[in-house]
Chain A
Amino acid sequence: MPEAKLVLQGVKKSFGENPVLCGIDLSIARGDMICLIGASGSGKSTLLRCINQLEPIDEGTILLDGQDISEPGIDLAPVRRRIGIVFQSYNLFPHMSALDNVVLAPRRVLHEASEALHARAAALFDRFGLAPHMAKYPDQLSGGQQQRVAVIRALAMQPEIMLFDEITAALDPELVGEVLNLLRQLRGEGMTMLLATHEMGFAREVADRVCFMDGGVIVEEGPPKEIFAAPKHVRTQAFLGAVLR
């Protein structure tokens, strides 16, 4: 059993009166790729936003390498540095070139020297086939390219774990493939990843484990083969029946 990178215990979160996460337990081993599936509003995005503390949780604990990062009042900046997150809407900084988007945080937060940093960033662009687009501004890039730059921007901080919040959901269908290929490549390199996704085929192909969420809890969890071929829970069956048809 590999050591657990990230452990969630009894995580609860409500927005006002509205409970969104109702006790989430999840353990992610180093190098694991976990896919969260479920209908919109089932709590997948909120769970990801809670893990890097963009939303503070109400109850429970989140352990990163055994350290409780959900404790109220701790300095979050060093924690967030170790957790990369990419959103559905890219959120690139529109007034900076792709390269500047990528080097800003390492320069300001990690205080890396400019030359070494630029070389490292160029290598990242090269690795994911975006070297020709380094100097372009976000509005000169396609959605798929922007999303890949957003992933590179997160990777440039050398995170220990990456969270992906439905990163292909806003893309035109023909652009989804290039982003999924990047994720495959990352998985091949051993990155620990947690994805909220609607790409069932992708989840089935690459995930180590799939978690089906509904009503703020993880209803069913297991290897993709089991979840997709023989879901045990009636709600999982209903959901997969609806999306796979």
Chain B
Amino acid sequence: MNRRQAYEAAQRRRSLTVAALSTGGVLAGLILLVPLAPGWPAVKASFFDATVFAETFPTLLQAFLIDVMIFAWSVPLILALGLAIALARGARAPALFPLRIFGAVYVDVFRGVPVVLTIYLIGFGVPGLGLSRPWNSPYIWGTVALVLTYSAYVAEVLRSGIESVHASQRNAAICLGLSEGDTLRYVILPQAIRRVVPANMNMLVALQKDVALLSFIGPVEILRQAGIYKSLLANFTPYVVAAVIFLLVTVPATRYADYLLNRDRNARS
């Protein structure tokens, strides 16, 4: 070990020690202080009841599969519609001007309305037109609401990716005689999509959580099932169970998205 390495190792040991002490202090404070609060026994009984936790966990996990299912069929629809909207917004030909306007309005509207409102309006509004089974299913219209909202976000992300591809790439393709369509398909989009994968990963994590909002219009997925248990058992622990189940999925997914983002940033610097 040379002099610099010895110095850096000492520095590392020092910061590790400080970090460990400070983390330990905060944890100890929480563990000792929170139970001193006057309402703690009541909160503990209604939010952290081990028996209720064990009892409701299997059913809630089952109900979570509905969330996963809705998520799984929404994603391809969102990506396809998002791409279509991004392309519509980038259309340059004068004949396609209405398409461009439509893209802009679409993005403005669905990014501007809270997801839960879109879900209410579409989830209750459209079946209210008197559609017969199975076309009045909240699964269908809830999915539509999620797809509309999230494709607006994905479209914006994709558009920023398309615009980040340098003009010289387009020029090079055009000079080779490639058509506009082929230039987009073979030269611009592959580069653009690669660049926005991490940003879209974050979008998907948000979507996974927002699927729970469909509980407001009917499907007995995890959040609604937890609500049912809450009423049945007069205990809030099922909500904590639901939160834990979400975290089991979203934390690894978020970490993976961050990893992709960092790798991308390092590769470009």
Contact = CB atoms under 8 A, between A and B. Distances in A.
Contacts of B186: 93, 104, 108
Given A95-B190, A95-B191, A89 B168 contact: yes
B177 A109 contact: yes
Given A95-B190, A95-B194, A54 B174 contact: yes
Interface stretch (A13-21, A58-66, A79-87): A79-87
A87 B174 contact: no
Interface in B181-237: 182, 186-187, 190-191, 194
Contact of A77 (B169, B179, B190): B179
A44 interface: no
A94 interface: yes
A78 to B, nearest CB: 8
A105 interface: yes
B161 to A, nearest CB: 13
Contacts of A84: 175
A72 B150 CA distance: 43
Given A94-B191, A95-B190, A95-B191, A105 B169 contact: no
A13 to B, nearest CB: 17
A153 B187 CA distance: 14
A69 interface: no
Nearest to B190: A95
A154 B179 CA distance: 16
B178 interface: yes
A157 interface: yes
A104 B175 contact: no
B176 A109 contact: yes
B172 interface: yes
B192 to A, nearest CB: 10
Interface in A209-223: none
Given A93-B187, A95-B190, A95-B194, A80 B169 contact: no
Contacts of B176: 80-81, 104-105, 109, 153-154, 157
Interface residues of A, number: 22
The DSSP consensus for interface residues of chain A is mixed
A108 B182 CA distance: 8
Interface residues of B, number: 17
B169 A85 contact: no
B93 to A, nearest CB: 15
A109 B178 contact: yes
B171 interface: yes
Interface in B16-44: none
A94 B185 CA distance: 14
Tell me which of A52, A85, A108 has the highest count of chain B C-beta atoms within 10 A of its own C-beta.
A108
A237 interface: no
A236 B241 CA distance: 83
Contacts of A92: 172
Contacts of A185: none
A91 B178 contact: no
A108 B174 CA distance: 12
A133 B149 CA distance: 46
A14 B187 CA distance: 30
Contacts of B194: 95
A58 B56 CA distance: 76
A77 B177 contact: yes
Contacts of B175: 52, 54, 80, 84-85, 154
10 contacts: A54-B171, A80-B174, A81-B177, A91-B169, A93-B191, A104-B176, A104-B178, A105-B176, A109-B177, A157-B177
Interface of A: 52, 54, 77-78, 80-81, 84-85, 87, 89, 91-95, 104-105, 108-109, 153-154, 157
Given A80-B175, A91-B171, A109-B177, 7 more contacts: A54-B171, A54-B174, A87-B171, A87-B172, A93-B191, A109-B182, A157-B176
